[in-house]
Structure 1
Amino acid sequence: MRMQRVAGWLSAIVCLLSLTCLSPGFAADPSSVPILLYHRLGPVSPDEMTVTTPVFEAQLKLIQERGYKVIPLAALVAALGDSAAPLPERAVVLTADDGHRTVYSDMFPLILRLKIPVTLFIYPSAISNADYAMTWAQLAEMKASGLVDIQSHTFWHPNFNVERKRLAPAAYEKFTQDQLLKSKAVLEQRLGGKVDLLAWPFGIHDDQLAQWAQAAGYVAAFTIERRPATRSDKIMALPRFIVTNLDRGERFVSLLGASK
């Protein structure tokens, strides 16, 4: 049920965002880097959040053919924090949210074959629990490849706008801190490594949430605002493009920063 609610909210959001971003390609800009966001793969695309596996493979091929290089998200965060160094040219970052099982079955073989780094944002409550989600063993296998970084998507993907209205201020603060801290602790305990990046559920964020996230140990956080990341963006609200099954050919190339 939770996955259906999440999918419904995100589908509505991506539809609204896409209306304003379909036509012009972004001009090539060495001061910006696109962060691409995937959710689910598979043989068919029944909704806006599913990219078919052949389309995903074609997108990876276009990245290579057009001379772009996929870099780790952590490398981009480090570059954004170093004002003395230029951002990597013709770079692109791949991320995937939620931990759907097709990220393991369909995405992982392709990134292994092509040696492409990907960051997964996971909400741990679903792992080895929900029927749509990966298992802890699968996540561990992906992390052991050296190509997959696993970071936080809160503990169970709440809608902070709803929770803020539902809870008293002190209870809302405790709820939020629990979501931020528990996710971080569980992922670090289960998989090892450092968890210090956060994807905001539904892209919902504000200055107070950002302060709480930083206090919890996160150094950067990510939204679903559909544009490339630059140094002018707030580090706790870096934008990402939700990739849909319609993002093919030149439409997909426009997300990478090339003019049509």
Structure 2
Amino acid sequence: MVLLSLSPVAATAGEADRGVAVLAYHRFDPLHGGPTTVTTLAFERQLDWLDAHGYRVVALGAAVEGLRGTGSVLGDVVAGGHAVAITVDDGHVSVYTQLYPIVRRRHVPVTLFIYPSAISHATYALTWGQLADMTLSGLVTVQSHTYWHPNFHAERAHRTAADYRAFVDDQLVRSKRVLERRLGVPVEMLAWPFGIVDADLRAAAVRAGYRAAFGYGGGPARPGVDPFAIPRLPMSDADQGAVLAARLRLGPVVRGRSAP
């Protein structure tokens, strides 16, 4: 379960000041951080730093439109390179117990990428009621992370071409339909499990009716980015101060990093 190598090309002075950084989180804990867990204190410090340095947290859908050169206000924010969007993958219960109170208090928009098979089933996962409660706030949007978070490389290896295509289509379509039916919200964006994306998966996303999809790794997204492979910055407690500033400008060099 390994990401493709993502080495951001050094941006020119003008290019480095354009775009939007899409931040990727997974779990939250009041005391203990980890590879995919950020402490609530570290998260709030990240928000404080962004605010102090002129960054604006924008809704993910607005960020996508800004990257396309549309949108009423966001175009200026994206052009100035001071926009960030917050995403959270998988649907861990800590999103509701730890993150959501911060979201409400600070009034910041967040997008959750959910794989529905776990919701109200897995002990670690959110419930449908919790998801519905968060979406009603107007601050939290729910989008797709496929139906059960498969590793598409592994699935391709043991399936025929026709079976693999049908499997991918089912993962993308079923997730979209279940989320829309259970929550009554449009689902038009997708986060690729493990950051795996290729031409066949892009085509499947288009067939399923998605308008944008996100990877895992890389740097800030620049205008003209592939709308079905928009990079995201995996976040940890260590992303503070100068480290965070550097990542927002250029992003990391990622080689062989495991992605959940």
Give the TM-score of the pair, scaled to structure 1. 0.87
> Aligned match of 1:195 in 164, 187, 190?
187
Q: Which segments of 5 or more consecutive residues in structure 1 lack a partner in the other structure?
A: 1-8
The alignment status of 1:50 with 2:37, answered yes or no, reads: yes
**Which of 90, 109, 119 is the matching residue for 1:127?**
119
Alignment of 1:118-197 (within 5 A): 118-197=110-189
Name the counterpart of 1:37: 24
1:82 aligns with 2:69: yes
Change (3 A) 1:157 1:212: same
Deviates more, 1:194-203 or 1:24-33: 24-33
Which residue matches 2:257? none
For 2:120 and 2:85, locate their aligned partners in 1 and report how far apart those are by CA, in whole Å. Answer: 27
- 1:165 maps to amino acid: A
Matched, 1:106 2:89: no
Provide the residue aligned with 2:57 in structure 1.
70
One-letter amino acid matched to 1:249: G
Tell me the CA shift for residue 76 of structure 1.
1.0
Letter in 2 for 1:34: A
Structure 1, 74-83 or 56-65: larger mean CA deviation: 74-83
Q: How many pairs align?
A: 243
State how far apart, in whole Å, the 1-side matches of 2:241 and 2:247 are: 10
Aligned counterparts of 1:112 and 1:83: Cα–Cα separation in 2: 28
- Shift in CA distance, 128/88, structure 1 to aligned 2, threshold 3 Å: farther
Q: Given the two structures, how large is their TM-score scaled by the length of structure 2?
A: 0.87
> What is the distance in 2 between the residues matched to 1:112 and 1:44?
20
Contact 1:124 1:187 in 2 (8 A): yes
Distance 1:176 1:216 in 2: 10
Structure 2 CA distance for partners of 1:27 and 1:249, relative to 1, 3 Å: farther
Q: Which amino acid aligns with 1:32?
A: G
Aligned to 1:230: 222
One-letter amino acid of the counterpart of residue 118, structure 2: A
Secondary structure (helix, strand or coil) at the match of 2:35 reads coil
Change (3 A) 1:117 1:63: same
**Displacement of 1:31:** 2.0
Deviation per CA, 1:224-253, whole angstroms, max 9, x where unpaired?
Answer: 122000123211000000001211222123
| Cα deviation, residue 42, structure 1 | 0.3
In the TM superposition, residue 88 of structure 1 has moved relative to its aligned partner by 5.0
Name 1:116's counterpart in structure 2. 108
Q: What is the RMSD computed on CA atoms of the aligned residues?
A: 2.4
Q: Give the drift of 1:25.
A: 11
CA distance in 1, matches of 2:12, 2:20: 11
**Contact residue 36 and residue 94 of structure 1 kept, 8 A:** yes
Say if 1:45 and 1:245, in contact at 8 Å, map to a contact too.
no
* Identity value in percent: 45
Q: Is the 8 A contact 1:51 1:244 kept in 2?
A: yes
Q: Distance in 2 between matches of 1:194 and 1:73?
A: 14
Counterpart-to-counterpart distance in 2, 1:254 and 1:26: 15
Taking a change above 3 Å as real, the CA distance of residues 83 and 118 of structure 1, as seen in their structure-2 partners, is closer
Distance 1:71 1:103, change over 3 A: same
Residue of structure 1 aligned with 2:236, choices 241, 244, 247: 244
Q: Cα deviations across residues 148-180 of structure 1 (Å, max 9, x unaligned)?
A: 110000000000000000111111011000000
Residues 223 and 237 of structure 1 are in contact (CA less than 8 Å); yes or no, is this contact kept in structure 2? yes
SS in 2 for 1:67: coil
CA contact (8 A) 2:17 2:249 kept: no
Identify which range, 37-46 or 155-164, moves more after superposition. 37-46
What one-letter code is carried by the residue in structure 2 that aligns with 1:38?
Y
